[in-house]
Amino acid sequence: MNESLPPQTKLVCLHEDVEMAEYLLTADRYTIGRLVGVCEILVHRRTVSRVHARLERTGSHFVLHDLSRNQTYVNHTPIEGAHILHDRDLIGLASPEPLLRFVDSDPTILTSGKLRLDESSMRFTWNQQPLDLTPSQWRLLNNLYQHRGEVCTREQCALAIWGAEFLPGMDADNLDKVLSGLRARLREVDSLADPITVRRGLGYTLAADA
C-alpha cells in the first residue's frame, strides 16, 4: 500500500453487474472491464469492453483513462483521454448510467496556476479570489478545467452544462451566453483574465497553465 494515498480511497458498486461491492484503491493502477484474469475491477455486462478503462494514480489523485470505443462516462458525461476523478464522481461504462462511485475520504485542492478548485467546497477561485458563478457557468468551467489544454467541443460543453446533446439551432446562442458570462465573471476579479480560447468550428480550450 502506498502510504501517501488515503486508505479510504475506493470505488463503490452501484449495480449488480459489478462483481464486488467495493474496491479499495491501494495500488497505483487498475484495469476496468469484463475480461477475467486481466481486469482487477470486473463488470459483467456485454456492452462493457473486455478492457474498458484504466484507473491510474498520479500524485495524490486518481486519473481515469477511457480505453473503449463504447465510451466511458463521468457524471453522465463522456470523457476523452485522461480525466481526474473527484470525490463522489459517478462512473458509467458504455452508458451514462452510473455503475461505480469514486470515493476519496481526503479531497484536496487542485491547483493549476491562478485557477483553483477547492474540492471541499467545490468553489473555484482565480488568484485566490472567489468566482461567483451560476450553475451553468460552474459546469462549463469545470468541464474545461478537467480538460485543461485540450479542445472541448461545443457538444461536450452542452452535455456538461445541460446533460443533453448539443442542438445547433437551439443551443448555440445559449452556450455563447454561458461562455460570455463566465468570461465576464473572470474579468470581475482580474481585468486581464482571459484563459479561455475559442477554437472556431471546434469548441473551447482552457489554457493548460491557467
pLDDT along the chain (210 residues), means of 10: 59 96 94 96 96 87 90 89 84 96 71 73 88 94 87 88 73 89 95 91 84
Q: What domains lie within the chain, and their CATH numbers?
A: 10-103 (2.60.200.20), 109-206 (1.10.10.10)
What pLDDT was estimated at residue 170?
65
pLDDT at 169: 65
pTM for this structure?
A: 0.53
Strand 90-93 with 72-74, pairing? antiparallel
Task: Give the pLDDT confidence score for residue 87 in this predicted structure.
Answer: 83
